[in-house]
Chains A and B, each alone.
Chain A
Amino acid sequence: MKIKVLLVVSALLMLAALYMVFIYAPTEAEMGNVQRIFYFHVPLAWIAFLAFLVVFIASILYLWKRDKRWDFIASSSAEVGLVFTTLFLITGSIWAKSWWGVWWTWDSRLTSSLVLWLIYLAYFIVRSYIAEDQRRARFAAVVGIIGFIDVPIVALAITLWRTQHPGPVIFEGGLSPEMVGTLLVSIAAFTALYALLLAYRVLMKQDEDELKKLKAQIRG
């Protein structure tokens, strides 16, 4: 039942966000309509961070409690996080193309996200190479913890590196109140979507696990 509510809430919020992004929010003076990608780009970055924070916490709880539900949450959140980080990189790339004229620039935020993306890709590669459930959960939890702790150090090193070779600035002027409102609604919509996807994925993993148990029982 709860998941139905979440589905409706996230659908309504997403519709509201779309309306605000494309109709309500004013067109930015310098960049024009391309700036509207900002309302997707920033929430995606926030969800990527949130998703990997959830991976980190669920990983610690798994190692502590040894309850496989924490592993379901960690791996599901990592999946959703990887998808959102990919979208973040794609929207960043589109924005960079129209604003700076290149598909990719070694800007500190894009570069940090790329490293983040590679770390969580490694998380899934580790998972895919371990057949046994408990060991996979333990090893993945270790990678989830180390990976998340690494993120601020990566960001620090890359920011320092970029200030040595100055990079382009994203925003010169401030945001108007309408823009801030649109951004907040968009963030809320994406957060609800994240929670929904996470809930679906965890339920699916629980069913898969149940099915595995039943199969084992039938085989004896």
Chain B
Amino acid sequence: MRFWRKAFVIVWKDIVSEIRTKETISSVLVFAILVIVIFNFAFSANQETMLLVAPGILWVTFAFAGVLSLNRSFIVEKEEHCLEGLMACPISREVIYVGKMLGSLLFMLFIEAIVLPIFALLFNLAVLSPQLITVTFLTTLGFVAVGTLFSALAVNTRAREMVLPILFLPIVTPIIISAVNATGLALSGEPWSSLSSWLAIIVAFDIIFLVVSFLVFTFIIEE
């Protein structure tokens, strides 16, 4: 599978550059924690109301953090003309999409793996259930599936990072709705069966947009 080996080279490049610069993950992480702290002031809730608003807080945080980190994904490529370098490589455009998408997925999952325990600690919630981890993983996959496409689109416009949230947020509304509801059910310790219809929507979104983004990505970085 030469396709995957090439894609993993791009992922590895992103990881190495992140380890050396520590630009994206550290700032997105601080941003995510700030959002959670500010929400705490906005609601100043007690334990009971917290259980009601916690899923919303969590997913607003992840969606905003996602926008921030997805924007970086292609801005760093644009800055030193790295994108031209990538396009000059003897690889198909689809490889670039898969590589960048997996890189963003890893970054997002890494950030979420740190934010979730902090969130649990600050709000005194039982977060680490297999249900919640599944919801988080699947929704993040949906985020990066469309987010990588839109990030590449956004950096090639005049407004750059302004464009990504405007495009990204309305498109991901179905998985945000599903993730918030599924998280609410997971936090109150419901079994898998009660989450199934929400998970089905998230999985459908993931599959559809992984395929469609994979197919149309080539039109975004054509020239």
Contacts and interface: CB of A to CB of B under 8 A. Distances in A.
Q: Do A and B come from one complex?
A: yes
B222 A153 contact: no
B174 A143 contact: no
B170 A149 contact: no
> Is the contact region of chain B dominated by helix, strand, or loop, or is it mixed?
helix
Given A122-B167, A160-B201, A153 B219 contact: no
B181 A119 contact: no
A150 B174 contact: yes
A51 interface: no
Interface residues of B, number: 34
A143 B212 CA distance: 11
A154 B146 CA distance: 15
Contact of B170 (A122, A129, A141, A142): A122
A138 interface: yes
A164 interface: yes
A87 B197 CA distance: 33
B208 interface: yes
A16 interface: no
B149 A142 contact: yes
Which are the 10 A-B pairs with shortest beta-carbon distances?
A157-B174, A129-B157, A118-B170, A153-B174, A129-B159, A129-B158, A157-B177, A119-B170, A122-B167, A122-B166
A191 B222 CA distance: 37
Given A129-B157, A139-B153, A142-B153, A157 B163 contact: no
A175 interface: no
28 contacts: A63-B216, A118-B169, A122-B166, A122-B170, A126-B153, A126-B163, A129-B162, A129-B163, A135-B223, A138-B220, A139-B157, A142-B153, A143-B153, A145-B212, A146-B209, A146-B212, A146-B213, A149-B208, A150-B170, A150-B174, A153-B201, A154-B173, A157-B174, A157-B175, A157-B177, A157-B201, A158-B174, A160-B198
Interface residues of A, number: 30
Interface string B147-177: 0010001001111001100110111011101
A156 B208 CA distance: 14
B61 interface: no
Contacts of B209: 146, 149
Interface of B: 146, 149, 153, 156-159, 162-163, 166-167, 169-171, 173-175, 177-178, 181, 197-198, 201, 204-205, 208-209, 212-213, 216, 219-220, 222-223
Nearest to A145: B216
A31 interface: no
A131 interface: yes
Contacts of A131: 158
Interface of A: 63, 115, 118-119, 121-122, 125-126, 129-131, 135, 138-139, 141-143, 145-147, 149-150, 153-154, 156-158, 160-161, 164
B96 to A, nearest CB: 15
Contacts of A164: 181
Contacts of B146: 146
A131 B204 CA distance: 35
Given A153-B205, A156-B174, A157-B178, 20 more contacts: A121-B166, A122-B166, A125-B163, A125-B167, A126-B153, A126-B157, A130-B157, A138-B219, A138-B220, A141-B219, A145-B216, A146-B149, A147-B171, A149-B209, A149-B212, A150-B174, A153-B174, A156-B201, A157-B174, A158-B174
